[in-house]
């Protein structure tokens, strides 16, 4: 079907638009020349460049484009669309291209779009099913807000259930009494056996704890050797943007009850070096989170940073919020940062380069997490040491061994099409990152660890640390149970190596935290004190076992010391041995996680950020180069 156009200016070229804006006094010759230079280098549209560089606001540009193309400029808020037309064009297509079926004019469908190119592209996709249509003009923000209002129920339901049911834990909400009954029965049997055969039950649990300790030590040693014995991968050659079209990159930044961190976040992200015309930072806020809304309202957000509001719904979790915001993203690459993150300025440039050179099955890149408040107190120091070993040694080593790796919750980058193909994140899983890492692996995709760093705030308070760690451990338990729901299918999808790697990682990690007190008991042997296993095992065997445990502790110290031996972390070396007193906190978190697994499996124990904004590492930047935006003095951190 032929597409009707109600405007003669549809075939204007970019040079015509530039001259039109200059003649209208909306841009200066100097700014226009700079914008054209950016377009020649990066290939994005002139109107988008002018908006993203802060040279013209979106509303003024929309009015100018309407005049330029000879079409009507409408406001969907004061001139709402016909709700009977809402489903005329696929919602996902509307969101991805910022178009909106607005009203009928005779037999012609009037479609609101922010750019003629998007309007024409949607009609091309529709092909023979395309209606007789003409364009009216609105801003992208106005269109997306209207689409969110029109399709509120559909988008809200989708955010909670994007992942297929057989790969999600959302069905657990209907099995509460079953979990309670099984748990109560299991505890009753364990108590009865303990009263009847105390030494044998202790021996069984201690034996399992020892076995999983040896397996965990073997996995750590193998990962350590794999990392240390293989030279670092060479840096990929830089992309020439004049020869290759750089992709649009969207970054999701979920915020919830963040009153301290938001202003610092805007300042940090202003340091990014990726072209702002190709950058889409999406601040994801809950609808009824008035504290964060008020805080963000006080910030002078750059034009490449915007807010997506998540409607009220259940469960109220980070993955559900990201699922909702995913449909509103513009980018081909989707990234995640947390509220307190401070990424390397060139991080997105490195991600884009790696994706460009990586094989097609590499669909996820995991960056390195570091902590900018590592000198704050003992807990922050130990947290930093632990995660330096995990992200700088263990994860890269596991990846080089060919194992599937659990993802961290931030500094993650995905090819958007694959992320949407797999259903995004499980909204009910409180460690949606680890779960997604294994879903990627079981569907044949790979994750690589990339050499770029994001600074975070180490949890430096005792009870919040326990709460955070209990959420992670509960999520690990849920993730393991979900993927092992059909172990034969999981084995076939993962293959021999990855399947047993999952067992080695998850089972040992959870067992070590839950059964830690049984391992601590062997200090009694090394100190020459009586041990509960003395009646059934020779003393010499217990001594040798205690020595083996001590050697594993030495291995852990070696790995942690290696991880912090660089110039950036060398100040932490004296604190490495004290992690022996740090890890027992995880046992408390594990018992809290077990309780919540039964009674509150979907509860998201929120970690409050912003306790370290006054540390030297968080000093404000002197300028925000390449953004053409200066934050006012009122936006400095307190």
pLDDT reported for residue 339: 86
Model confidence band, residue 609 (pLDDT cutoffs 50, 70, 90): low
Q: In this model, does residue 623 exceed pLDDT 70?
A: no
Give SS3 for 531: coil
* Residue closest to 365 by CA, chosen among 406, 299, 414: 414
pLDDT reported for residue 8: 34
Give the integer Cα–Cα distance in Å for 105 and 115: 20
* Residue closest to 248 by CA, chosen among 357, 58, 96, 33: 96
Q: Are 409 and 606 in contact (CB under 8 A)?
A: no
Give the integer Cα–Cα distance in Å for 118 and 251: 22
Query: Is the Cα dihedral 378, 263, 429, 438 positive or negative?
Result: negative
Per-residue pLDDT, averaged over 573-597, amounts to 92
pLDDT reported for residue 333: 97
Q: In this model, does residue 611 exceed pLDDT 70?
A: no
pLDDT tens digit sequence for 115-139: 999 999 999 988 887 788 999 999 9
CA angle at 583 for the pair 581 and 588, rounded to the nearest 5°: 105
Q: In this model, does residue 7 exceed pLDDT 60?
A: no
Q: Are 344 and 183 in contact (CB under 8 A)?
A: no
Model confidence band, residue 527 (pLDDT cutoffs 50, 70, 90): confident
Q: Characterize the bridge pairing of strands 249-255 and 412-415.
A: unpaired
pLDDT reported for residue 244: 82
pLDDT reported for residue 99: 95
More confident residue, 524 or 617: 524
pLDDT reported for residue 626: 36
- Those residues whose C-beta lies under 8 Å from the C-beta of residue 417, and which sit 6 or more positions away, are 332
More confident residue, 15 or 339: 339
pLDDT reported for residue 607: 66
- The number of angstroms, rounded, from the C-alpha of 307 to the middle of its chain's C-alpha atoms is 17
Q: In this model, does residue 213 exceed pLDDT 90?
A: yes
pLDDT tens digit sequence for 20-32: 999 999 999 999 9
Model confidence band, residue 245 (pLDDT cutoffs 50, 70, 90): confident
Q: Which own/partner pairs from 227-234 qualify as long-range (CB within 8 Å, at least 24 positions apart)?
A: 227/393, 227/394, 227/396, 227/397, 227/400, 228/393, 228/562, 230/400, 232/451
Give exposure, 487-503, as e/b (b: 16+ Cβ within 10 Å).
Answer: eeebbebbeeebbebbe
Give the integer Cα–Cα distance in Å for 46 and 28: 14
Residue 211 has a CB neighbour count (10 Å cut-off) of 13
Q: Label residue 328 exposed, middle or buried (CB < 10 Å: 0-12, 13-18, 19+).
A: buried
Q: In this model, does residue 630 exceed pLDDT 70?
A: no
Q: In this model, does residue 295 exceed pLDDT 90?
A: no
pLDDT reported for residue 259: 73
pLDDT reported for residue 299: 84
Tokens found for residue 87: 């489903």
User: Which residues make beta-bridge pairs with 335?
Assistant: 251, 413
Q: In this model, does residue 571 exceed pLDDT 90?
A: yes
Question: Which stretches within 422-529 are classed as H helix?
Answer: 432-442, 462-483, 487-494, 496-502, 508-514, 516-520, 522-526
pLDDT reported for residue 238: 79
pLDDT reported for residue 620: 39
pLDDT reported for residue 627: 34
Per-residue pLDDT, averaged over 302-318, amounts to 92
Tokens found for residue 144: 């997306």
Q: Are 443 and 562 in contact (CB under 8 A)?
A: no
Give Dmax over CA atoms of the chain in angstroms: 95
Phi first, then psi: what are they for 343, rounded to 5°?
-80, 155
Q: What is the mean pLDDT of the chain?
A: 88
Helix pair 487-494, 432-442: axis angle to 10 deg: 70
Tokens found for residue 191: 């108590």
* Residue closest to 410 by CA, chosen among 366, 444, 356, 450: 366
The CA distances from residue 157 to 119, 147, 283, 415, 633, in Å, are 28, 15, 21, 24, 42
- Those residues whose C-beta lies under 8 Å from the C-beta of residue 550, and which sit 6 or more positions away, are 526
pLDDT reported for residue 42: 84
The CA distances from residue 579 to 233, 358, 561, 564, 575, in Å, are 31, 37, 11, 13, 7
Q: Characterize the bridge pairing of strands 279-286 and 249-255.
A: parallel
Domains of the chain (ranges, CATH numbers): 9-150 (no CATH), 156-230+245-638 (3.90.550.10)
User: Which residues make beta-bridge pairs with 280?
Assistant: 250
Percent of the chain with pLDDT over 90: 66
pLDDT reported for residue 110: 95
- Min mean pLDDT across 184-188, 266-270, 571-575, 634-638 is at 634-638
- Min mean pLDDT across 4-18, 440-454, 482-496, 516-530 is at 4-18
Give SS3 for 307: strand
Per-residue pLDDT, averaged over 94-122, amounts to 93
Q: Are 447 and 405 in contact (CB under 8 A)?
A: yes
Among left, alpha and beta (phi > 0; psi -120 to 50; other), residue 257 is left
Per-residue pLDDT, averaged over 586-608, amounts to 85
Per-residue pLDDT, averaged over 388-409, amounts to 93
Which secondary-structure segment (H or E) carries 100?
strand 99-105
Sequential DSSP letters for 170-214: GGGGG-HHHHHHHHHHHHHHHHHHHHHSHHHHHHHHHHHHHHHHH
Q: Are 45 and 39 in contact (CB under 8 A)?
A: yes
Q: Label residue 434 exposed, middle or buried (CB < 10 Å: 0-12, 13-18, 19+).
A: buried
Q: In this model, does residue 612 exceed pLDDT 80?
A: no
More confident residue, 259 or 366: 366
């Amino acid at each position: 079907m032929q597409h009707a156009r109600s405007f003669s200016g549809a075939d204007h070229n970019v040079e015509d638009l530039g001259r039109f804006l200059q003649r209208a006094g909306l841009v200066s010759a100097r700014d226009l020349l700079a914008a054209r230079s950016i377009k020649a280098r990066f290939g994005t549209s002139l109107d988008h460049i002018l908006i993203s560089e802060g040279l013209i606001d979106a509303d003024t540009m929309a009015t100018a484009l309407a005049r330029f193309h000879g079409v009507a400029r409408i406001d969907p808020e004061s001139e709402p669309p016909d709700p009977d037309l809402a489903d005329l064009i696929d919602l996902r297509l509307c969101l991805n291209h910022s178009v909106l079926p607005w009203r009928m004019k005779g037999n012609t469908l009037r479609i609101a779009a922010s750019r003629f190119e998007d309007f024409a592209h949607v009609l091309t996709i529709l092909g023979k099913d395309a209606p007789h249509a003409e364009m009216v003009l609105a801003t992208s923000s106005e269109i997306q807000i209207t689409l969110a209002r029109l399709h509120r129920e559909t988008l809200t339901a989708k955010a909670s259930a994007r992942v297929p049911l057989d790969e999600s834990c959302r069905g657990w909400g209907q099995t509460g009494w079953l979990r309670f009954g099984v748990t109560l029965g299991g505890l009753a049997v364990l108590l009865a056996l303990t009263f009847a055969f105390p030494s044998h039950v202790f021996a069984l649990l201690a034996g399992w704890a020892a076995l999983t300790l040896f397996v965990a030590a073997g996995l750590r040693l193998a990962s350590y050797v794999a990392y240390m014995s293989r030279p670092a991968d060479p840096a990929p050659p830089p992309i020439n943007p004049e020869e290759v079209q750089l992709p649009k990159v969207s970054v999701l930044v979920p915020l919830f009850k963040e009153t301290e961190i938001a202003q610092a976040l805007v300042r940090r992200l202003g340091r990014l070096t990726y072209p702002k015309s190709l950058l889409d930072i999406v601040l994801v806020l809950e609808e009824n989170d008035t504290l964060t809304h008020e805080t963000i309202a006080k910030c002078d957000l750059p034009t490449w940073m915007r807010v997506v509001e998540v409607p009220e719904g259940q469960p109220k979790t980070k993955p559900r919020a990201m699922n909702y915001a995913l449909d509103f993203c513009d980018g081909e690459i989707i990234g995640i940062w947390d509220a307190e993150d401070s990424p390397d300025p060139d991080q997105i440039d490195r991600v884009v380069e790696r994706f460009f050179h990586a094989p097609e099955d590499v669909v996820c890149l995991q960056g390195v997490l570091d902590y900018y408040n590592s000198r704050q107190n003992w807990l922050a120091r130990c947290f930093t040491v632990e995660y330096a070993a995990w992200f700088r040694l263990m994860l890269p080593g596991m990846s080089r061994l060919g194992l599937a790796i659990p993802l961290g919750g931030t500094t993650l980058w995905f090819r958007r099409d694959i992320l949407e193909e797999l259903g995004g994140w499980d909204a009910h899983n409180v460690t949606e990152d680890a779960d997604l890492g294994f879903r990627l692996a079981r569907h044949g995709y790979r994750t690589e660890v990339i050499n770029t760093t994001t600074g975070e705030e180490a949890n430096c308070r005792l009870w919040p640390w326990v709460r955070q760690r209990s959420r992670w451990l509960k999520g690990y338990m849920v993730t393991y149970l979900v993927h092992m729901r059909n172990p034969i299918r999981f084995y076939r999808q993962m293959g021999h190596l990855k399947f047993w790697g999952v067992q080695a990682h998850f089972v040992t990690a959870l067992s070590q935290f839950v059964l830690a007190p049984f391992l601590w008991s062997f200090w009694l042997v090394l100190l020459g004190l009586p041990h509960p296993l003395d009646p059934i095992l020779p003393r010499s065997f217990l001594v040798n076992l205690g020595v083996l445990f001590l050697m594993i502790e030495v291995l852990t110290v070696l790995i942690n010391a290696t991880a912090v031996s660089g110039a950036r972390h060398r100040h932490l070396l004296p604190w490495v041995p004290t992690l022996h007193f740090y890890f027992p906190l995880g046992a408390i978190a594990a018992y809290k996680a077990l309780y919540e697994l039964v009674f509150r499996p979907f509860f998201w124990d929120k970690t409050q950020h912003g306790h370290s904004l006054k540390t030297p590492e968080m000093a404000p930047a002197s300028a925000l180069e390449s953004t053409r935006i200066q934050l006012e003095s009122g936006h400095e951190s307190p």
